[in-house]
Amino acid sequence: MSRTTLAPTSVAAPIPVGDILPWAIFGGLLMLIAIYFVGTEEGAMALFDGMYVHEFVHDGRHLLGFPCH
């Protein structure tokens, strides 16, 4: 019987920060927009008339701990 051991022949190359940075900024902006709509889109800070956005994210508000009523 022979024993064969497999050794890795290549090492994963690191991803340059310049390639990640635009996606990190884009993801951060999306998170800020989501937090705005979940956290403050009602009352005096509302961008849209009515309570449509508030009702759409109502359960998310409670899940994240934002009071609304």
Residue 49: inside a domain, yes or no? yes
CA dihedral 12, 15, 16, 21 (to 10 degrees): -170
Identify the DSSP state of 60. Answer: H
User: For the whole model, what pTM was predicted?
Assistant: 0.62
How much is the pLDDT for 21? 95
Each residue's pLDDT tens digit, 19-31: 999 999 999 999 9
Q: What is the pLDDT of residue 43?
A: 64
Domain containing 25: what range? 18-64
Q: Which residue has the higher pLDDT, 50 or 13?
A: 13
pLDDT of residue 63: 85
Q: Bigger pLDDT: 9 or 44? A: 9
Query: What pLDDT is attached to residue 1?
Result: 61
> What is d(CA 66, CA 50) in angstroms, rounded to the nearest whole number?
19
> Number of structural domains, the chain?
1
Six token digits for residue 68: 């609304």
Ramachandran area for residue 40 (φ above 0: left; ψ -120 to 50: alpha; else beta): alpha
